[in-house]
């Protein structure tokens, strides 16, 4: 059974000590590259973590392919849904190939530790992200862009239909941001559903096919960037006065901030 929304949240209230999101419902369209945007502290990462079942909602339910996510075994979820968290730790001295291989954990058992499929998946993931020539390098000696591609390769090795990326472009310079988002777009066009928390509104408009705009834990708008990103929305979401012009490259919206914040 395929549903047009492989991942959805129904009426969830979720947070840490206090609820960050209250009675929020959202559905991720199948095959979309969804960007979650909004100001700092609006609950973007909380939403992503809830969708990835890293945070358990106090109320409400997350549905993965039509079934409550809690009814799946945790390895089963990990075979459908991959996550690149905001912060991750690479053990000192681990190589790129070893780190990518750890993405195969949901397929491995005590007696099945390195199957032919594991090997192929890891090789494919490294090829897709262009890190195969770094296979034997230590992750702690890579540049920021290479390291982020390695982590994405680890998530890709999980071979999931859905990828969740929490601020994948943070700490990267503009060239590497574009390079990484090009990679994301490529992965999306190959058939994966992508959900990414993005900070840069213009990059989100350029790459995403679906945008979810959050403010104070509530969704203000969602839809294709060409339809929803307007001067009004930017003011409502970010409290920023801006002019929207046509992006000369993509033809989509380009947000140009006005002189002063309101």
Enumerate binding residues for another protein (CB under 8 A). Answer: 16, 49, 52-54, 73-79, 81-83, 85, 87-95, 97-99, 101-103, 105-106, 108, 110-116, 118-119, 122-123, 126, 132, 135-136, 154, 158
- Which tokens in the block code for residue 29? 């369209």
Cα 248 to chain centroid, rounded:
26
For 208, counting Cβ atoms within 10 Å of its Cβ (0-12 exposed, 13-18 middle, 19+ buried), the class is: buried
Smallest separation (angstroms) from another protein to the CB of 123: 5
Alpha carbon distances (Å) from 55 to 19, 81, 153, 206: 11, 15, 24, 30
Smallest separation (angstroms) from another protein to the CB of 197: 14
Comparing CB distances to another protein, the nearer of 26 and 78 is 78
Comparing CB distances to another protein, the nearer of 34 and 158 is 158
Smallest separation (angstroms) from another protein to the CB of 162: 11
Report the distance separating Cα 181 and Cα 208, nearest Å: 9
Supply the DSSP symbol for 60: E
Comparing CB distances to another protein, the nearer of 75 and 189 is 75
Smallest separation (angstroms) from another protein to the CB of 96: 9
**Are 50 and 195 within 8 A, CB to CB?**
no
Comparing CB distances to another protein, the nearer of 48 and 237 is 48
């Amino acid at each position: 059974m395929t549903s047009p929304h492989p991942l959805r949240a129904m009426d969830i209230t979720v947070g840490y000590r206090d609820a960050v999101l209250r009675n929020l419902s959202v559905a991720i369209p199948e095959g979309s590259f969804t960007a979650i945007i909004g100001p700092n502290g609006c609950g973007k990462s909380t939403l992503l973590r809830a969708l990835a079942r890293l945070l358990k909602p106090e109320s409400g339910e997350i549905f993965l392919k039509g079934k409550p996510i809690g009814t799946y075994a945790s390895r089963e979820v990990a075979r459908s849904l991959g996550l690149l968290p905001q912060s991750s730790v690479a053990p000192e001295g681990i190589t790129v190939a070893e780190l990518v291989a750890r993405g195969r954990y949901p397929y491995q058992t005590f007696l099945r530790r390195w199957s032919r499929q594991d090997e192929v998946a890891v090789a494919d993931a490294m090829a897709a992200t262009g890190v195969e020539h770094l296979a034997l390098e230590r992750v702690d000696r890579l540049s920021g862009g290479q390291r982020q591609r390695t982590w994405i390769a680890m998530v890709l090795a999980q071979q999931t239909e859905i990828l969740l990326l929490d601020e994948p472009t943070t700490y990267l310079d503009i060239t590497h941001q574009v390079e990484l988002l090009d990679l994301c777009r490529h992965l999306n066009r190959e058939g994966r559903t992508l959900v990414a928390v993005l900070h840069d509104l213009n990059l989100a408009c350029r790459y995403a096919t679906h945008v979810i705009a959050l403010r104070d834990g509530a969704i203000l708008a969602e839809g294709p960037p060409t339809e929803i990103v307007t001067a009004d929305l930017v003011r409502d979401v970010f409290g920023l006065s801006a002019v929207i012009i046509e992006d000369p490259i993509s033809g989509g919206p380009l947000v140009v901030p006005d002189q002063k914040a309101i």
